[in-house]
Amino acid sequence: MAVNPKKHEMPAQAPEVRAHNFKEVALGYSRETAVEEAARCLNCKTRPCVAGCPVNIHIPEFIQKVKEFDFEGAYQIISQTSSLPAVCGRVCPQETQCESRCTLGRKFEPVGIGRLERFVADWHNAHAAGKAQAPESNGHRVAVVGSGPSGLTCAGDLAKKGYKVSVFEALHTAGGVLVYGIPEFRLPKTIVAREVETLKELGVDIEPNVVIGKTLTIDELFGMGYEAVFVGSGAGLPRFMNIPGESLKGVYSANEFLTRSNLMKAYRDDPKTPIMKGGNVAVVGGGNVAMDAARTALRLGAEHVYIVYRRSMEELPARREEVEHAREEGIDFRLLCNPVEILGYSNPEDPRDEKNGFVTGIRCVKMELGDADASGRRRPVVIPGSEFDLDVDTVVMAIGTSPNPLIKSTTKGLEVNERGGIIVDEDGLTSREGVYAGGDAVTGAATVISAMGAGKVAAKAIDEYLSGR
Amino acid sequence: MYKIVRKKALNPTVTQMEIEAPLVAAKAKPGQFIILRVDEEGERIPLTVAGTSPQEGTVKIIFQIVGATTELLNHRNEGEFIQDFVGPLGVPTHTEGIRKVCIVGGGVGCAIAMPVAQEFHRLGAEVTSIIGFRSRDLLILEDEFRACSDRLVVMTDDGSYARHGNVTVPLKEMLEAGETFDAIITIGPLIMMKFVTLTAKPFGVPVTASMNPIMIDGTGMCGGCRLTLQQDGKRVTKFACVDGPDFNAYEIDFDEAMSRGRMYSAYERRAREEVCNLFKNA
């Protein structure tokens, strides 16, 4: 039988429709499409896709089950190694991971592994009866700091082995970046809540409103009887460019802009937490977070949304799929541009003028690419005399974060690198006995799946550490 | 959920509550703050800790009814619950080496100034307190301040109680009379803190201001609470939630902070009216 050279298209809301709502963009495969896509898998002996997955999902095996219409069987295989399949099926950069290794992909488009994973997870959530069963306790207690992707993965893996796990979350809702950062239209919050619910069924305690480093310290956790601690506290303070005008009203960090919209539901018609909506918006940066912020601004009612990025499309770090979605929706990419100042309204005649101090524009310079820098990317260089202004009402800075100081400053003997990231060995062990770490708190801003991979590695190491006791 | 153990109106627009939150009560120090949400849909607001009872496991908060959320909070009663309560956040007020202190509080800021004054008193420092209010009916915590201050000056803007004028008047008199302090700590409206700082400047007394900007997470994630300090000729961005809320007042760009504080004022006016109407109709 001839193999279909192309992946089955992912059904999606039309761009002109979705640009005005917060519903999920990609709609998911139907049962029939999933089985047909699964049939494209060659079930090759070498299984290179598995090595491409940070949590080593048994990919050919689950796809085989899909071929056989055994979707619950497929789910059981995925859930052996992944605690958050419905999340990963949506936000993993499969094109650079499992799918980039696919044997079929050498000649044709690779198998749509991510789309199949999503289908299987959604099918399970819609159809599977009964709850997950908490395994018999092994008597050991582990504390997890932060309920983002690394923390939830670590907690899930340990709970499945019988550990009593408590997850401490600083915010009021579990999920970390999955709830405050990634927008509803890419990852519906009901899906995150469902995955958290599954962990609770496995016996994991979620303790919201506890800031480790403030409410309790890591040393106190040991004093409370926890035998090991996993720190997955995520990235921290937002970076700004240190250009004039960044404190004007209407300038947000991407973290703040997305948190207001996602976690605090400012996108709703009658929000309790305000956000600046409408007008023109410039988002500075080229990562996935910048794409999320730009597309959120559009859905909040912006007339025109710019992405301002200092390199070219080739260097733009966001996932291709996100960039394509953003372009289809009408986001205006101003590449090889760099902001030098944010402009604000000022009425010296009337200090009480309510418009005083609000953003009116962003001044940029054009750039060209010079020689490669230390990172191997070509360094952007300013073109003299190329200044120009964009009229905007809101500016969102999506240029990264630096690590949060709260845990480091309250945990003696916890070593961090020069960027403030927690130093760990290959098992995720920090400089403190029994304290493990992973995710953005270690690496700085990275992906959901790499954080999950780190949570998984640490869970295995914690199990080895504690089962030896 | 966190129980409201006691509730008391300090004046028509300022309410005191004691909230059951044992972990916070065990840790909170003067100068630190908490973040709360009244209900499942609510916004997160920061409030400075006005006192704790670690034995009882309660944390005292004092808030002015200024917006939709504080209006909503004020409608909760003793024995009822609020959704979320997290802390203690921020860095405690620095007390080391300060033997003689002047606390300058204004309006509801006095609620935050009071535990700071009490802490200095407990540590054996000589405490001068200057507290100011718009008028007599807005006066709060006079007895509490008297109990922990070696000297107390009460001011009202309209002269309806105690001395007429604002807090900078007696401060200036004291400094001009040759009074010295190891530190002045000022907590209140930004405009008041700015003028306290300007008043103290010619005398070279260190001034600390407690900042209360707009915040969401309060843990150093969102950056909404940023403010600008002027340090060694450079403008430096700091985050009130993790670097503060106390800062060297001489370095703070108060004008910028005042402007940023008004970012949502139009929205807030509307939101509060809506909440008020809701309770009127109920």
Which residue among A214, A238, A252 sits closest to B88, beta carbon to beta carbon?
A214
* Mutation to test the A interface, candidates B71, B221, B237, most A Cβ within 10 Å: B221
Complex confidence, ipTM = 0.91
Across the interface, whether the CB atoms of A209 and B85 are under 8 A apart is answered: yes
| CATH assignment of the domain containing A330 | 3.50.50.60
Q: Is residue B187 part of a domain?
A: yes
* Mutation to test the B interface, candidates A256, A262, A269, most B Cβ within 10 Å: A256
- What residue in A sits closest to B224 (Cα-Cα)? A256
* Same domain assignment for residues A209 and A309: no
Percent composition of chain B: helix, strand, coil (DSSP 3-state, to 5): 35, 35, 35
- HSE of A381, CA atoms in CB hemisphere, 13 A: 8
B151 touches A at CB < 8 Å: no
Q: Is residue B145 part of a domain?
A: yes
Number of separate domains in chain A? 3
pLDDT at A83: 81
Across the interface, whether the CB atoms of B217 and A170 are under 8 A apart is answered: yes
- Structural domain including A52 reads 15-127
* Same domain assignment for residues A260 and A377: yes
Own/partner long-range contacts of A320-324 (Cβ < 8 Å, ≥24 apart): A320/A95, A321/A95, A322/A186, A322/A288, A322/A291, A322/A292, A323/A291
What's the gap in Å between the CA of B170 and the closest CA on chain A?
A: 29
Q: Which residues of B touch A354 (CB under 8 A)?
A: 262, 265-266
Beta-carbon neighbour count of residue A6 at 10 Å?
Answer: 10
What's the token pair of residue A179?
A: 């709830």
Q: Which of A93, A127, A161 marks a domain boundary?
A: A127
What's the token pair of residue A81?
A: 């190694």
Query: What are residue A367's DSSP bridge partners?
Result: A382
CA distance A228 to A466: 8
pLDDT at B281: 62
* Same domain assignment for residues B50 and B152: no
* Same domain assignment for residues A207 and A76: no
* Same domain assignment for residues B197 and B169: yes
Q: Is residue A3 part of a domain?
A: no
Which residue among A215, A272, A354 sits closest to B41, beta carbon to beta carbon?
A272
pLDDT at A211: 96
- What residue in B sits closest to A275 (Cα-Cα)? B264
Q: Which residues of A touch B245 (CB under 8 A)?
A: none
| SS3 annotation, A227-292 | CEEEECCCCCCECCCCCCCCCCECEEEHHHHHHHHCCCCCCCCCCCCCCCCCCEEEEECCCHHHHH
Q: Is residue B255 part of a domain?
A: yes
Q: Is residue A2 part of a domain?
A: no
Q: Is residue B190 part of a domain?
A: yes
Q: Is residue A364 part of a domain?
A: yes
B84 touches A at CB < 8 Å: yes
Across the interface, whether the CB atoms of B216 and A265 are under 8 A apart is answered: no
* Same domain assignment for residues A329 and A346: yes
Q: Which residues of B touch A242 (CB under 8 A)?
A: 237
Return the axis-axis angle of helices B168-176 and B190-200, rounded to nearest 10°: 10
Contact indicator for B62, B14 with CB cutoff of 8 Å: yes
- What residue in B sits closest to A352 (Cα-Cα)? B259
Across the interface, whether the CB atoms of A357 and B37 are under 8 A apart is answered: no
Query: Which of B117, B75, B93 has its CA nearest to residue B28?
Result: B93
CA distance A25 to A13: 5
Contacts across the A-B interface (CB distance below 8 Å) = 114
Q: Which residues of A touch B46 (CB under 8 A)?
A: none
* Same domain assignment for residues A232 and A262: no
pLDDT at B265: 82
DSSP labels for A379-407? Answer: EEEEPTT--EEEE-SEEEE-S-B---SHH
* Same domain assignment for residues B201 and B126: yes
* Same domain assignment for residues A184 and A226: yes
* Same domain assignment for residues A392 and A431: no
- Structural domain including B39 reads 2-89
Whose structure tokens read 């009127």? B280
Query: What are residue A344's DSSP bridge partners?
Result: A359
* Same domain assignment for residues B106 and B31: no
Q: Which residues of B touch A216 (CB under 8 A)?
A: 23
Q: Is residue B280 part of a domain?
A: no
| CATH assignment of the domain containing B228 | 3.40.50.80
pLDDT at A299: 94
* Same domain assignment for residues B152 and B71: no
* Same domain assignment for residues A21 and A93: yes
* Same domain assignment for residues B25 and B133: no
Number of separate domains in chain B? 2
Q: Which residues of A touch B256 (CB under 8 A)?
A: 247, 357
* Mutation to test the B interface, candidates A237, A241, A289, most B Cβ within 10 Å: A237
* Same domain assignment for residues B80 and B128: no
* Same domain assignment for residues A114 and A175: no
Give yes or no for residue B24 having a pLDDT over 80: yes
Q: Which residues of B touch A274 (CB under 8 A)?
A: 264, 267-268, 271
Give yes or no for residue B250 having a pLDDT over 60: yes
Q: Which of B35, B70, B89 marks a domain boundary?
A: B89
Q: Which residues of B touch A255 (CB under 8 A)?
A: 221-223
What's the gap in Å between the CA of A126 and the closest CA on chain B?
A: 26
* Same domain assignment for residues B56 and B142: no
pLDDT at B32: 94
Q: Is residue A316 part of a domain?
A: yes
| CATH assignment of the domain containing A97 | 1.10.1060.10
B278 touches A at CB < 8 Å: no
B145 touches A at CB < 8 Å: no
Query: Which of B192, B173, B57, B178 has its CA nearest to residue B112?
Result: B192
CA distances from A148 to A157, A160, A173, A409, B41 (A): 14, 18, 10, 21, 21
* Same domain assignment for residues B44 and B110: no
* Residue pLDDT, tens place only, B157-172: 999 998 999 999 999 9
- What residue in B sits closest to A216 (Cα-Cα)? B23
* Same domain assignment for residues A268 and A313: yes
* Same domain assignment for residues A166 and A232: yes
pLDDT at A354: 87
- pLDDT average per 10 residues of sequence, chain A (469 residues): 85 93 93 95 94 92 96 93 88 89 93 95 85 87 96 94 96 95 93 91 96 96 97 90 94 95 85 88 96 96 96 91 94 97 94 91 96 83 96 96 85 91 95 95 87 93 90
What's the gap in Å between the CA of A74 and the closest CA on chain B?
A: 36
Q: Which of A99, A127, A155 marks a domain boundary?
A: A127
| SS3 annotation, A430-461 | CCCCCEEECCHHHHCCCCHHHHHHHHHHHHHH
Selected residues 196-255 of chain B with any CB under 8 Å from a CB in chain A: 216-217, 219-224, 226-228, 237, 239, 242, 253
* Residue pLDDT, tens place only, B107-141: 999 998 999 999 999 999 999 999 999 999 999 99
What's the token pair of residue A64?
A: 């085989």
Q: Which amino acid is at A332?
A: D
What's the gap in Å between the CA of A324 and the closest CA on chain B?
A: 27
Which residue among B85, B220, B227 sits closest to A406, beta carbon to beta carbon?
B220
* Mutation to test the B interface, candidates A206, A214, A359, most B Cβ within 10 Å: A214
Across the range B239-243, mean pLDDT stands at 92
Q: Which of A397, A426, A448 marks a domain boundary?
A: A397
* Same domain assignment for residues B240 and B129: yes
The C-alpha R_g of chain B, in whole angstroms, comes to 18
What's the gap in Å between the CA of A218 and the closest CA on chain B?
A: 14
* Same domain assignment for residues A258 and A359: yes
B134 touches A at CB < 8 Å: no
Which residue among A208, A234, A253 sits closest to B223, beta carbon to beta carbon?
A253
Contact indicator for B45, B28 with CB cutoff of 8 Å: no
| CATH assignment of the domain containing B12 | 2.40.30.10
Across the interface, whether the CB atoms of A253 and B262 are under 8 A apart is answered: no
Q: Is residue B268 part of a domain?
A: no
Q: Which of B47, B66, B89 marks a domain boundary?
A: B89
CA distance A49 to B203: 71
Q: Is residue A136 part of a domain?
A: no
Query: Which of A115, A111, A94 has its CA nearest to residue A30?
Result: A115
What's the token pair of residue B6?
A: 């006691």
B41 touches A at CB < 8 Å: yes
Across the interface, whether the CB atoms of B227 and A247 are under 8 A apart is answered: yes
Mark out chain A residues that contact chain B at CB-CB < 8 A.
170-172, 180, 208-211, 214-216, 234-238, 240, 242, 246-247, 249-250, 252-253, 255-256, 259-260, 263-265, 272-274, 354, 356-357, 404-406
Q: Is residue B95 part of a domain?
A: no
* Same domain assignment for residues B123 and B243: yes
* Same domain assignment for residues B125 and B188: yes
Contact indicator for A279, A394 with CB cutoff of 8 Å: yes
Across the interface, whether the CB atoms of A259 and B88 are under 8 A apart is answered: no
Task: Say which residues have a Cβ less than 8 Å from residue A352's Cβ, sequence separation at least 6.
Answer: none
Higher pLDDT, A156 or B270: A156
Q: Which residues of B touch A272 (CB under 8 A)?
A: 41-43, 68-69, 271
What's the token pair of residue A48?
A: 């290179």
